[in-house]
């Protein structure tokens, strides 16, 4: 690490942990050199000196890792532990009449600490007021490359000519829709990209979608959210440049008999998608409401890891606001929450929870929720899968239904849990639906999911009373404390605990 930092082209030590260690080591050197410091001759001090020498030896190695690599961070952690031990030793041994550090061991540790401080600081160390940026896993040979990598953290504004070159004159078409057309492209370094060229029309739809995507996904980064590299906007075109997702969207796998995914992987996709939505709702500085969660907006990378995409309808909300005041219907029929059917009803981020529940039903059944037949009678013309799931749950036949959909015996418990979570997500009242972080917890199996109440009452009586139960709270902090969706111990864990107790 130190040898890398001492080279003329190595980046300065600007990461936060390194500066903290330099500061602490300086203080310890000062204490050890002070007129009241004790001699360091005990076994403990000698052990610390030995550890420091080993660390110094590693730091001086000709192939020392950069400070942001995994090994580098481990060395930094070791240094921090030793710093804490040194502080304890200094605190214990310091006294009002202690002699100066004239012992051999004291001089050795003083010398080693001075060398570490000098090497860690280096000639390029930033001043204390320098704005520090923490960079993970960057291995760069030059400062210029380092700065280029840092620039990638910000959105890039491309020109129309650049996008034409990156897509080889828009030669490979990936898909299209009302929003526009998506083309495949590639950066000069070989990284594949997807370029979405938005339809430019007389209305404001394209501009609104462009601003929605750039303002939401452009300021976030999560492993389960598709990454936006940059954009292009001029008088002639609007385009968005995304990371390329090799396996396309989820819908082509769950609605197809020829491109099936194993149930275990579908379960992982459901959890990953839930984590992405939970990040938007609960972890971003400003809450993001997606408004259009559905299988076609869940993209899969080369490893079939899911990423939520298409933020064209998304909105940013302050956490202090309990709802979005924007008027008008948003989303896709069949996935949109029932509160959109009521005039002037406050729309909250819980509309995404409802849409996610509808997505879970389609994962369980590997089919679309709505199937329309050509029967003569109107009441027999539509097969709605979510209601079928509730009917089977109410009759206690949920497991039999799950097996009838080809889910293997060893995955039955996960599928049953997913069905119950889906029923919780699609509750009529937004306040009765769980937070997405709780949805993740329930899907992962760390808790026992409680039986959900009957949903879909709005189909028979649409009104404010249906969507506003009197026993619900508006406060998100109260929701975090509320666990009426689950119990902390699952039956599986309870059985395991009983077996452990009986065997001991």
State the pairing for strand pair 228-233/156-157: parallel
CA–CA separation, 54 and 58 (whole Å): 6
Residues 64 and 3 sit within 8 Å (Cβ to Cβ): yes
What would the two tokens of residue 210 be?
A: 């462009």
Residues 416 and 398 sit within 8 Å (Cβ to Cβ): yes
CA 41 distance to own-chain centroid = 50
Distances (CA, A) of 243 to 292, 326, 336, 365, 420: 20, 30, 27, 30, 34
Establish whether 265 is an annotated binding residue: no
Place of tokens 């000639």: 123
CA–CA separation, 282 and 375 (whole Å): 45
Active-site pick, 207, 292, 391, 482: 292
**Of 24, 41, 39, nearest in space to 95 by CA:** 39
Query: Helices 385-394 and 350-365, interaxial angle, to 10°?
Result: 80
What would the two tokens of residue 88 be?
A: 């304890």
Phi-psi region of 298 (alpha: psi -120 to 50; beta: other; left: phi over 0): beta
The DSSP secondary structure of 197-238, one letter per residue, reads EEPP-SSSHHHHHHHHHHHHGGG---TTB--EEEEEESSS-E
CA–CA separation, 225 and 242 (whole Å): 11
CA–CA separation, 352 and 337 (whole Å): 8
Known catalytic membership, residue 234: no
What would the two tokens of residue 73 be?
A: 């961070």
Q: Which residues are annotated as a binding site?
A: 196
Q: Which residues are annotated as a binding site for ATP?
A: 196
The residues annotated with a catalytic role in the active site are 292
């Amino acid at each position: 690490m130190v040898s890398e930092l001492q080279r003329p082209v190595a980046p300065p030590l600007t990461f936060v942990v390194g500066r903290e260690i330099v500061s602490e080591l300086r203080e310890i050197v000062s204490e050890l050199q002070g007129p009241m410091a004790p001699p360091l001759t005990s076994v403990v001090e000698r052990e610390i000196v030995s550890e420091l020498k080993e660390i110094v030896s590693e730091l001086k190695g000709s192939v020392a890792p950069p400070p942001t690599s995994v090994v580098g961070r481990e060395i930094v952690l070791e240094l921090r532990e030793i710093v804490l031990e040194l502080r304890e030793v200094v605190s214990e041994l310091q006294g009002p009449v202690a002699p100066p550090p004239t012992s051999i061991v004291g001089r050795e540790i003083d010398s080693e600490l001075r060398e570490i401080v000098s090497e860690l600081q280096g000639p390029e160390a930033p001043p204390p007021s320098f704005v520090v940026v923490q960079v993970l896993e960057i291995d760069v040979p030059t400062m210029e490359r380092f700065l280029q990598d840092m620039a990638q953290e910000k959105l890039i504004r491309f020109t129309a000519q650049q996008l034409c070159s990156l897509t080889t004159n828009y030669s490979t078409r990936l898909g299209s829709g009302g929003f526009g057309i998506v083309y495949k492209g590639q950066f000069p370094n070989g990284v594949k990209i997807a370029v979405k060229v938005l339809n430019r029309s007389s209305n404001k739809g394209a501009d609104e979608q462009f601003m929605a995507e750039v303002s939401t996904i452009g300021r976030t980064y999560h492993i389960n959210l598709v990454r936006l590299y940059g954009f292009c906007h001029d008088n002639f075109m609007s385009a968005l440049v995304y990371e390329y997702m090799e396996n396309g969207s989820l819908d082509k796998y769950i609605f197809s008999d020829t491109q099936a995914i194993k149930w275990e992987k579908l379960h992982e996709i459901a959890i990953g998608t839930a984590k992405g939505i939970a990040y938007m709702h609960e972890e971003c500085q400003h809450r993001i409401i997606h408004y259009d969660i559905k299988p076609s907006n869940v993209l899969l990378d080369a490893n079939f890891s899911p990423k939520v995409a298409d933020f064209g309808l998304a909105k940013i909300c302050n956490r202090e606001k309990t709802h979005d005041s924007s008027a008008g219907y948003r989303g896709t029929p069949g996935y949109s929450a029932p509160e959109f059917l009521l005039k002037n009803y406050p729309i909250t981020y819980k509309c995404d929870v409802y849409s996610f529940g509808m997505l879970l039903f389609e994962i369980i059944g590997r089919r679309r929720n709505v199937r329309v037949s050509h029967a003569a009678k109107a009441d027999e013309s539509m097969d709605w899968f979510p209601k079928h799931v509730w009917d089977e749950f109410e009759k206690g036949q949920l497991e039999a239904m799950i097996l009838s959909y080809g889910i293997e015996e060893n995955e039955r418990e996960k599928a049953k849990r997913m069905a119950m979570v889906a029923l919780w997500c699609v509750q009529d009242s937004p306040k009765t639906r769980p937070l997405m972080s709780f949805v993740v917890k329930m899907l992962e199996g760390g808790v026992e999911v409680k039986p959900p109440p009957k949903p879909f009452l709005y189909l028979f009586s649409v009104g404010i009373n249906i969507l506003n139960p009197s026993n619900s709270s508006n406060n998100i902090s109260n929701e975090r404390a509320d666990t009426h969706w689950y119990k902390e111990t699952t039956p599986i864990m309870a059985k395991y605990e009983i077996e452990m107790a009986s065997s001991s």
